[in-house]
């Protein structure tokens, strides 16, 4: 089955700096890659997703890049703010819409230092 | 529009007891999922359903059963609870259509098995 590796497990950055979280996947048939943000005690919430026919997608301060050949994708957050502090999860799915469920990475705890 | 709801929010079980977790969604989603979240492990798929009356196994199905008798409900059962099933359980749902594939998560059920 699919295996998703996520790095780093903890990332501390100064407020205003950029943060980058990287994930690799094992199954070349995977074609849908969402990123979720989870605040302490809350449910995961989708922040951005990308499909395998696109190399990059941007939404304000958040961007995701996908390299299908290398089977890795990354989350980029620019101009970080205190409210960006949370755990971020990458995920992958083969069914485009995630119909067969998502395989998640183990998460990155992002800490924004004031 | 309540989105995805889960009942109960918290539960403590003794080893060997049984219980059922209820997930309900009012978004007319075809797909529904059960995940468990353990510290340092990310979310792992237990079972999922692609429509009323259908279920399928995910990554960690052992010790759990599910049923989807109505489109809006997805039940997760533990027949004989074990301490290894102590976890936070999240239900999610999504549309069938590729392009409308965001998985919406419920608030979670925190289960402790003693």
Averaged pLDDT of chain B: 93
Instruction: Give me the residue label for tokens 């790095």.
Output: A7
A83 touches chain B (CB under 8 A): no
Nearest to A49 by CA among A82, A88, A18, A91: A91
**CA–CA separation, A82 vs A62, rounded Å?**
15
> CA dist A52 to A2, A34, A92, Å?
15, 11, 10
Number of H helices, E strands in chain B: 0, 11
Residue B49 pLDDT: 94
Residue B77 pLDDT: 98
Strand order, beta sheet including B4-7: B4-7, B19-25, B73-78, B64-67
Q: Residues 42..61 of B with a Cβ closer than 8 Å to A: which?
A: 42-45, 48, 50, 56, 58-59
CB atoms closer than 10 angstroms to residue A54:
12
**CA–CA separation, A26 vs A3, rounded Å?**
5
**CA–CA separation, B18 vs A45, rounded Å?**
30
pLDDT tens string B44-94: 999 999 999 999 999 999 999 999 999 999 999 999 999 999 999 999 999
Residue A61 pLDDT: 97
Dihedral, CA of residue A54, residue A52, residue A59 and residue A2, to nearest 10: -160
User: In angstroms, how far is the first alpha carbon of chain A from the final one?
Assistant: 41
Residue B63 pLDDT: 97
Q: Could you give the percent of chain B with pLDDT greater than 70?
A: 96
Closest Cβ–Cβ partner in A1, A96, A102 for B103: A102
What six digits make up the tokens of B76? 């997760």
φ, ψ for residue B60, nearest 5 deg = -130, 65
Say if the Cβ atoms of A96 and B101 lie within 8 Å: yes
Residue B16 pLDDT: 97
CB atoms closer than 10 angstroms to residue B21:
21
pLDDT in tens, chain A (114 residues): 889 999 999 999 999 999 999 999 999 989 889 999 999 999 999 999 998 888 999 999 999 999 999 999 999 999 999 999 999 999 998 865 556 789 999 999 999 999
Residue A6 pLDDT: 98
pLDDT tens string B13-39: 999 999 999 999 999 999 999 999 998
Nearest to B51 by CA among B77, B24, B29: B29
Closest Cβ–Cβ partner in A1, A96, A107 for B42: A107
Residue A101 pLDDT: 87
Which string of b and e fits A81-98 if b means at least 16 CB within 10 Å? eeebbbbbbbbbbbbbbb
Residue A96 pLDDT: 56
Residue B2 pLDDT: 80
């Amino acid at each position: 089955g699919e295996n998703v590796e996520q790095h780093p497990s903890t990332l501390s950055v100064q407020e205003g700096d950029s943060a980058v979280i990287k994930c690799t996947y094992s199954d070349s048939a995977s074609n849908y890659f969402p990123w979720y943000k989870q605040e302490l005690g809350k449910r995961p919430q989708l922040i951005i997703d990308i499909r395998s026919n696109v190399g990059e997608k941007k939404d304000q301060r958040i961007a995701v890049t996908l390299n299908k050949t290398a089977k890795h994708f990354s989350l980029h957050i620019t101009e970080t703010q205190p409210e960006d502090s949370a755990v971020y999860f990458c995920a992958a799915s083969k069914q485009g819409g995630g119909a067969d469920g998502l395989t998640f990475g183990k998460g990155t705890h992002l800490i924004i230092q004031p | 529009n309540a989105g995805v709801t889960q009942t109960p929010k918290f539960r403590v079980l003794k080893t060997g007891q049984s219980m059922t977790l209820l997930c309900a969604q009012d978004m007319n989603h075809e797909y529904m999922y059960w995940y468990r979240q353990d510290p340092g492990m990310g979310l792992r798929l237990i079972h999922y359903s692609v429509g009323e009356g259908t279920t399928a196994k995910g990554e960690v199905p052992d010790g759990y059963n599910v049923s989807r008798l109505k489109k809006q409900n997805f039940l997760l059962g533990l027949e004989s609870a074990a301490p290894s099933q102590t976890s936070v359980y999240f239900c999610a749902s999504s549309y069938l259509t590729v392009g409308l594939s965001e998985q919406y998560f419920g608030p979670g059920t925190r289960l402790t098995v003693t």
